[in-house]
Amino acid sequence: MKTAIYNRYGPPEVLKLVERPKPAPKPDEVLVRIHASSVTAGDYRARALDLPAGFGLIGRLVFGLTRPRKQILGTEFAGIVDAVGDKVRHFRPGDRVFAYPGGSFGGYAEYAVIREDAAIAHAPVNLSLDETAALSFGGATALDFLRNKAGLKSGDRLLVVGASGGVGSAAVQLGKHFGADVTGVCSTPHVDLVRSLGANRVIDYTREDPAADSEAYDVILDTSGTATYARYGGALKPGGRLMLVSASLWQLLGSLLARKTKGRKAAGGYAPERAEDLRFLAGLAEAGQLRPHIGARFTFDRIAEAHTFFSAPEKAGNIIVTIAAEQAETAG
């Protein structure tokens, strides 16, 4: 099978297409013929070893001290079940599925195996596999921070900083699902996109300071890595929560050590990979309440270009990498 591997950290050009043996599923595993994967922040950081300030050593311990421990990236993918182990009960060959291996990676290949009890679920019937491939990383991250960490509820005012990205665009839609009044923050070219996602208000940060309003928000979700409690704390209502999806070690420490008043708090952390979250996201997609925005598509032989585009100023939403073009489809 064809795979994209990297043997050293570096620029997008370290990714090379090579042939590897097709895996066989163990008794508790599902073998998926992958239609599409994506380029997420997780893939970018693992490839370039470009981590938020203060996490360099931790990153090397996780990804590999001197060279990548896992050579095949791809934090999420969607495809068709090719075969299953004899203990698998909930999936069968021919099923449309999507998976969120996260830090275990593996999506940059024509085939991947994943345990049945890992983060894998049936694909929404109304999304193409391209769209479904982009459902996991952004959706599960936004879901964990908004629902589990922040406890977002109906009537809350939510500010999403970085609302045009993969996580941010999902957060805007999930915020609306939970009944929040959503304000999205983005740059000028992406204002219409964020508004189309359902945001009640859009702030163009090149023209307006999103932290200027005093005690305006119950929850502030930052996906951009630019928010600090010192800057945004005053924009939180009493009891408000600042959620740091992407933050340096110093931002996190500063948020912990900052003098907080009126019950405000700030938190970061990691969003785990859970099958129940994927099923929840699939249900929202089928109900028409969540649809991943695809900002760019690349074929598998252009995987390095896809990674280059991840850092482009015009990048918005999700970057899809189509791996099996012959499976291309449009769901109803």
CATH architecture of 2-135+292-327: Alpha-Beta Complex (3.90)
Exposed / middle / buried, residue 64 (Cβ in 10 Å: 0-12, 13-18, 19+): middle
| Tokens read off for 94 | 């021919």
| Domains in the chain: boundaries | 2-135+292-327, 137-267
Q: What angle do CA 195, 121, 131 make, to 5 degrees?
A: 35
Tell me if the pTM is above 0.75: yes
Strands annotated E in 180-244: 181-186, 201-204, 217-222, 236-244
Is residue 42 within 8 A of residue 70, CB to CB? The reply is no
Identical topology for domains 2-135+292-327 and 137-267: no
> What's residue 326's pLDDT?
46
Q: Which fold has domain 137-267?
A: Rossmann fold (3.40.50)
Torsion of CA 71, 73, 79, 82, to 10 degrees: 20
> What's residue 251's pLDDT?
81
Each residue's pLDDT tens digit in the chain (332 positions)? 999 999 999 999 999 999 999 999 999 999 999 999 999 999 999 999 988 777 788 878 888 989 999 999 999 999 999 999 999 999 999 999 999 999 999 999 999 999 999 999 999 999 999 999 999 999 999 999 999 999 999 999 999 999 999 999 999 999 999 999 999 999 999 999 999 999 999 999 999 999 999 999 999 999 998 888 989 999 999 999 999 998 777 788 877 777 788 899 988 888 999 999 999 999 999 999 999 999 999 999 999 999 999 999 999 999 999 998 644 444 43
| Tokens read off for 36 | 């599409």
- Bridge partners (DSSP) of residue 184 are 160, 202
Residue with tokens 């599960």, as numbered in its chain: 140
Amino acid at 310: F
